[in-house]
Amino acid sequence: MARRPQNAPPTRDTGPRVNDRIRATEIRLIGADGENVGVISPRDALVMAQEAGLDLVEISPNAAPPVCKIMDFGKFKYEQQKKAAEARKNQRVIEIKEVKFRPNIDQHDYDVKMRNVTKFLEEGDKVKVTLRFRGREMAHMELGSQLLRRVAGDVEALGKVESMPKLEGRQMVMVIGPMR
């Protein structure tokens, strides 16, 4: 047996306890074909599992007494891996996309940026609308808030404003989340 390096973390068992690793004094046993056998000692249950050519697997360790089942542990682990892979496949990370505007934006530029905003919302991503002020534009904050209200109004059917426009230094920021 190979030695573990000294700086390696201790090995930890993950997953359910199996066969002789079950430490409870008594367990609730479910047989190989799914019938409830009752509360017995783990030693008797292990003998029954070995006679069936299967393993004794602790399914619910937090119950009182713990619930164990006679089953093929390799098949059980395979099923769990398949479930985990399926869950990962169906999971989708919501990204935050950013679209930057200027206070006195032309109509065509506004339309192009709004197409991006609607595309991001339709794909299920959040959109961070940033309105950047330069120089003397800071004196006309009302133009910026009008523009952000216009953006919010134009995407009302696709998303909802999650954080209202707020001023952060020289820019106003608003977050729009997709409708679910």
What order of strands is seen across the sheet that includes strand 55-60?
36-40, 27-30, 67-71, 55-60
Give residue limits of the domains in the chain: 19-88, 96-178
CATH architecture, domain defined by 96-178:
2-Layer Sandwich (3.30)
Whole-angstrom distance, CA of residue 144 vs CA of residue 150: 10
Looking at the whole model, is its pTM more than 0.85?
no
CATH topology agreement for domains 19-88 and 96-178: no
Task: Identify the CATH homologous superfamily for domain 19-88.
Answer: Translation initiation factor 3 (IF-3), N-terminal domain (3.10.20.80)
Q: Digits of tens for pLDDT over the chain (180 positions)? A: 667 667 766 666 666 788 878 888 889 988 888 888 888 888 888 888 888 888 888 888 888 888 989 888 888 889 888 998 888 887 777 789 999 999 889 999 999 999 999 999 998 889 999 999 998 888 888 888 889 999 999 998 888 999 888 888 889 999 999 887
91, amino acid identity: Q
Q: 6-12: long-range contacts (C-beta < 8 A, 24 or more apart)?
A: none
